[in-house]
């Protein structure tokens, strides 16, 4: 299809499905409704966790749930407009030491592999990775990817046509990255990655985790060598560029971190 022929279709779709990313204000194409996102995310999550072992008890599983809850609470404060229904969030730990990875399915399903814990090291380190994943969810990056994939396949509405039709379903599932070796291994664009880094940094700061930890974690991620996780190395910006970007955002993130801490202290004293 030529660009000229695509143009009227683009106009049609853009008028029907354009929204803004909270926190960065970037406008994005989004033809997928929140309820469709929740449905697709749950389906992707079930598919991606069907053949793995989930760790549901013990200190590490508790930590994953605790960090997830603190980040969701921070998201309610910072980005209330992009919130996911509270009961849709799910944070799980997958027992596989060979995978240094984490992923997020739309609608709030986040999975962490035990293999990434030696890289994240501390609870704040884990918060770096989890805040990044929650940011992908809040920014509706999967919905945006699906919308572009549908558009490229000539589908103008993600509603009735897209979800019911099996050919379109294949497009959707492929855009979600479901079925790869590592679960939902989304090949997010660099733009999405940079956006998730930025939102994630502020989320962790608001949640009470020192945002400076992000730099140390990404540096360790760069050193972790041969077993390059798909979500964290192959499609992400080079660790050096990423650290540079974090340094640029750090003064603002530190200010938020200290302000959130003062706020918590005041709340404690007034109780």
**Cβ partners under 8 Å of residue 199, min gap 6:** 23, 24, 79, 131, 135, 138, 139
Minimum separation from the CB atom of position 133 to Zn ion (A)? 7
| Structure-block tokens of residue 163 | 């979800």
Q: What is the rounded CA–CA span in Å between residue 121 and residue 125?
A: 6
Which residue number, 196 or 207, has a Cβ lying nearer to Zn ion?
A: 196
Do residues 105 and 44 make contact, with C-beta atoms less than 8 angstroms apart? Answer: yes
Which residue number, 26 or 263, has a Cβ lying nearer to Zn ion?
A: 26
Which residue number, 105 or 196, has a Cβ lying nearer to Zn ion?
A: 196
Do residues 89 and 128 make contact, with C-beta atoms less than 8 angstroms apart? Answer: no
Mutual angle of helices 166-176 and 141-152, in 10-degree steps: 140
Minimum separation from the CB atom of position 183 to Zn ion (A)? 13
Minimum separation from the CB atom of position 132 to Zn ion (A)? 6
Q: Give residues 166-225 in contact with Zn ion (rule: CB under 5 A).
A: 193, 196
Residue 133 annotated as catalytic: yes
**Catalytic-labelled residue, pool 47, 60, 123, 133:** 133
Minimum separation from the CB atom of position 119 to Zn ion (A)? 15
Counting residues that bind Zn ion (by CB under 5 A) gives 2
DSSP single-letter state for residue 101: -
Q: Which residues are catalytic?
A: 133
Binding site for Zn ion (CB under 5 A): 193, 196
């Amino acid at each position: 299809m030529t660009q000229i022929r695509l143009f009227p279709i683009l106009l049609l779709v853009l008028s029907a499905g354009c929204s803004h990313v909270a926190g960065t204000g970037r406008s994005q194409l989004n033809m997928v409704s929140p309820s469709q996102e929740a449905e697709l995310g749950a389906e992707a999550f079930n598919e991606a966790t069907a053949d793995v072992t989930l760790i549901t008890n013990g200190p590490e599983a508790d930590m994953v749930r605790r960090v997830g809850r603190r980040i969701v609470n921070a998201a309610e404060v910072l980005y209330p407009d992009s919130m996911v229904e509270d009961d849709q969030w799910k944070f799980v730990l997958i027992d596989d030491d060979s995978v240094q990875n984490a992923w997020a399915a739309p609608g709030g399903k986040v999975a962490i592999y035990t293999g990434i814990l030696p890289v994240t090291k501390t609870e704040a380190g884990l918060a770096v990775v989890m805040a990044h994943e929650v940011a992908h969810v809040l920014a509706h990056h999967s919905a945006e990817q699906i919308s572009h994939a549908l558009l490229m396949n000539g589908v103008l509405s993600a509603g009735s046509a897209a979800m019911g039709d099996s050919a379109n379903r294949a497009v959707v599932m492929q855009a979600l990255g479901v079925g790869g070796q590592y679960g939902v291994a989304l090949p997010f664009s660099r733009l999405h990655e940079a956006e998730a880094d930025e939102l994630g940094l502020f989320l962790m700061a608001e949640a009470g985790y020192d945002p400076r930890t992000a730099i140390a974690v990404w540096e360790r991620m760069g050193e972790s060598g041969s077993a390059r996780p798909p979500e964290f190395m192959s499609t992400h910006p080079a660790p050096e560029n990423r650290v540079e970007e974090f340094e640029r955002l750090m003064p603002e993130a530190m200010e938020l971190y200290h302000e959130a801490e003062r706020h918590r202290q005041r709340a404690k004293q007034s109780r």
